[in-house]
Amino acid sequence: MSEFVVELDHVWKEYPLQRDRPGFKEYFVNIHKFMKRKGEENSHFYALRDLTLKIARGECVGIIGENGAGKSTLLSLMLGTIFPSRGDVKVMDRVTPLLELGGGFHPDMTGRENVILNGVLLGFTKGDVLKKMSSIIDFSEIGEFVDLPVRTYSSGMYLRLAFSVAIHTDPKILIIDEVLSVGDERFQRKSKEAMLNLIKGGVTTIFVSHQMVAVKEICNRAIWLDGGEIKAEGEPEKVVDEYLRH
């Protein structure tokens, strides 16, 4: 009866181990290597290995694991900014990322211009964004600064504006990468509250965090990723405890 909005089917994601772009010389000297890239197991690093995962509408899934376990790769795959090397990723609804907030802002554009560009990049028409403009500005509390170039902002203002855009875009699937701390203490409480409201309101949430308390508190399922594979999955209490003991 529950409807799946995210489905990953035997997904692999590989990265070339030599992350520096090869120059022409290296390319031609090693052309045989580049041609049969699949054959060379050890020149590649698998960020995800044969991952199968289904997320139902309205679920809040916490993803935990050590650095380099593949958590961010998994989020990017769901977001659609990267593609699996093998396997299939299906996402049935609009994904709103709360990752590296403000990464899409251009310092020389004003706050308002950036909000519009950001909103459209998140999948909205310019008209939609303009309708929400005043509530976005209100929530971010940046006031008149909205018409100044973003480079004049403090880092707190920057994050507040970016956060405000993301939560005002009527998220269907929310992807959160450890951003519970936005701005000063008061704004942190406010942003956390806004997020919790969304989650309680039935928005499907995928939540990557190192704050185990938060995972236990918010999520109704936890997944422990280790070396690109699911090591444990289920009740947040159980999975978190297992992870902490390990």
Partner 1 sequence: MEFFNRNHKRDIDLLWLLTHKEITLQYKRTSLGILWSLLNPLLLALVFYIAFTIVLRFQMKDFSLFLLSALFPWTWFSNAVSASTVSLIANKSLIKKFPFPKHFLLSAGVISQGIHFLFSLPIIACLVYYYGKTAGAIWLIGIPLLLIIQFIITMGASLAVSVINVYFMDFQFIVAFLLTMLFWLTPIVYPFDTVPETYRLLFLYLNPLTPLMSSWRELFMFNAIHWSWITISILGSIVIFCVGLLIFKKLSKRVDEVI
Would you count residue 100 as binding partner 1 (CB under 8 A)? Answer: yes
Would you count residue 196 as binding partner 1 (CB under 8 A)? Answer: no
Only one of the segments 125-133, 181-189, 209-217, 231-239 lies at the binding site for partner 1 (rule: CB under 8 A); that segment is 125-133
Would you count residue 16 as binding partner 1 (CB under 8 A)? Answer: yes
What CA–CA distance (Å, rounded) separates 127 from 120? Answer: 9
CB 74 to partner 1: min, Å: 14
Only one of the segments 16-24, 62-70, 190-198, 225-233 lies at the binding site for partner 1 (rule: CB under 8 A); that segment is 16-24
Would you count residue 175 as binding partner 1 (CB under 8 A)? Answer: no
What CA–CA distance (Å, rounded) separates 234 from 171? Answer: 25
Number of residues that bind partner 1 (CB under 8 A): 41
Residue 62: DSSP 8-state: E
- Coil, strand or helix: which one is 223? strand
What CA–CA distance (Å, rounded) separates 210 from 181? Answer: 13
Provide the total of helices (H) and of strands (E) in the chain, helices listed first.
9, 9
Residue 9 near residue 52 (C-beta atoms within 8 A): yes
Please state, as a whole number, how many other Cβ atoms lie within 10 Å of the Cβ of residue 59: 21
Judged by beta carbon, residue 8 or residue 198, the one nearer partner 1 is 8
Binding site for partner 1 (CB under 8 A): 14-16, 19, 21-24, 27, 76, 79-83, 89-95, 97, 99-100, 103-104, 106, 108-109, 113, 116-117, 120-127
